[in-house]
């Protein structure tokens, strides 16, 4: 089957080196297999979208030499998410975060993972409020997947480890998980390369695909870039943007070289993105087989 990969940034601000490394790996993964590459702008959460950020991302990617064959903008695809939503058993819910925390506290069970699992308060008593969020009544199943990058398997029992999660917020915004599950299938994405922060989101996306009768791609969760303190690069932590580095006269080739070096690859001080294809190809044999 021909490979299609994607890079799916949220246009919430300028790209920093960490975003650039994930974008580079996603591009290398598609191109090293002779595959197609999709750019998908994930702009559904309008409150977090920054004007001009999508244009800046396109410019940064082009500057680095990371091209794409198709581009999609999620805010233009809301009908697709709405249609998928009608196929799933959901119920309205107006619980606040605080009420959820109190309900968990009141039931003897402490949350197991880092995330609070919604205890299902609204399952039986649906509020009839048009401002209610819609939660998915998750199937009583354990979903496992094998991550191609780390070669590890992650399993999650949906009711106890994930809980009924929101598919459409009270303000009408479709949830990231729903949009991603629909889009990856509709765009015929075969290989998802993305940051390791999304590893634990994957079983719920696979569960959505299965319930909607959609295919499941292969997943490759790549490590997030950290600073000298070992902390994840973030704009809030002061990571410089690519735009600032470019404005400061740093050549794209030097950025690419630094990104490759941070992955442990030995490369000259200035390179082009396509110079990294042979390195990635040799790595692919280990990653994919």
Four-point Cα dihedral 109, 204, 165, 196, nearest 10: 80
Residue number of the CB closest to ligand GLU reads: 194
Task: Give the C-alpha separation, 180 to 190, whole Å.
Answer: 13
Q: Token pair of 275, please?
A: 């110079």
Q: Which two tokens stand for residue 168?
A: 């459409």
Q: Which of these ranges, 2-10, 224-232, 238-246, 279-287, lies near ligand GLU under the rule CB under 6 A?
A: 2-10
Are the CB atoms for 81 and 179 separated by under 8 Å?
A: yes
> Which of residues 143 and 180 has its CB atom nearest to ligand GLU in the complex?
180
CB of 18 to ligand GLU, least distance (A): 11
> For residues 43 and 5, is the Cβ–Cβ distance under 8 A?
no
Q: Which of 180, 182, 222, 273 binds ligand GLU (CB under 6 A)?
A: 180
Site string for ligand GLU, 18-47 (x = CB under 6 A): ------------------------x-----
Decide whether 42 or 147 has the Cβ nearer to ligand GLU: 42
Reference 20, options 180, 257, 283; nearest CA is 257
* Least distance to ligand GLU, CB of residue 267, Å: 26
Interaction with ligand GLU in 196-225: which residues (CB under 6 A)? 198
Binder to ligand GLU among 3, 4, 5, 8 (CB under 6 A)?
8
User: Is residue 97 within 8 Å of 110, Cβ to Cβ?
Assistant: no
Question: Does the protein bind ligand GLU through residue 10 (CB under 6 A)?
Answer: yes
Contact 196, 224 (CB under 8 A): yes
Binding site for ligand GLU (CB under 6 A): 8-10, 42, 180, 194, 198
């Amino acid at each position: 089957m021909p490979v299609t990969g994607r890079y799916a940034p949220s246009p919430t601000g300028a790209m920093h080196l960490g975003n650039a490394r994930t974008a580079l790996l996603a591009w290398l993964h598609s191109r090293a297999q002779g595959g197609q590459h999709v750019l998908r702008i994930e702009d559904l959460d309008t409150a977090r979208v920054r004007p001009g950020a999508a244009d800046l991302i396109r410019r940064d990617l082009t500057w680095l030499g990371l091209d794409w064959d198709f581009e999609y903008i999620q805010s233009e695809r809301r009908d697709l998410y709405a249609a998928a939503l009608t196929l799933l058993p959901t119920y309205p819910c107006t619980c606040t975060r605080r009420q959820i925390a109190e309900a968990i506290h009141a039931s003897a069970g402490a949350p197991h993972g880092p995330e609070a699992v919604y205890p299902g308060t609204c399952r039986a008593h649906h509020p009839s409020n048009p401002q209610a969020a819609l939660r998915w009544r998750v199937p009583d199943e354990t979903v496992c997947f094998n991550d191609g990058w780390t070669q590890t398997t992650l399993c999650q029992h949906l009711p106890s480890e994930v809980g009924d999660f929101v598919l459409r917020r009270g303000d009408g915004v479709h949830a990231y998980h729903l949009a991603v599950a629909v889009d990856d299938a509709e765009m015929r994405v075969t290989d998802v390369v993305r940051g390791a922060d999304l590893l634990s989101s994957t079983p719920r996306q696979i569960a959505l695909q299965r319930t909607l009768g959609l295919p499941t791609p292969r997943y490759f969760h790549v490590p997030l870039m950290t600073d000298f303190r070992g902390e994840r690069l973030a704009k809030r932590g002061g990571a410089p943007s690519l735009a600032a580095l470019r404005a400061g006269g740093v050549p794209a080739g030097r950025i690419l070289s630094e990104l490759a070096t941070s992955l442990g690859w030995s490369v000259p001080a200035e390179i082009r993105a396509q110079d990294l294809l042979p390195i990635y190809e040799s790595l692919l044999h280990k990653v994919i087989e």
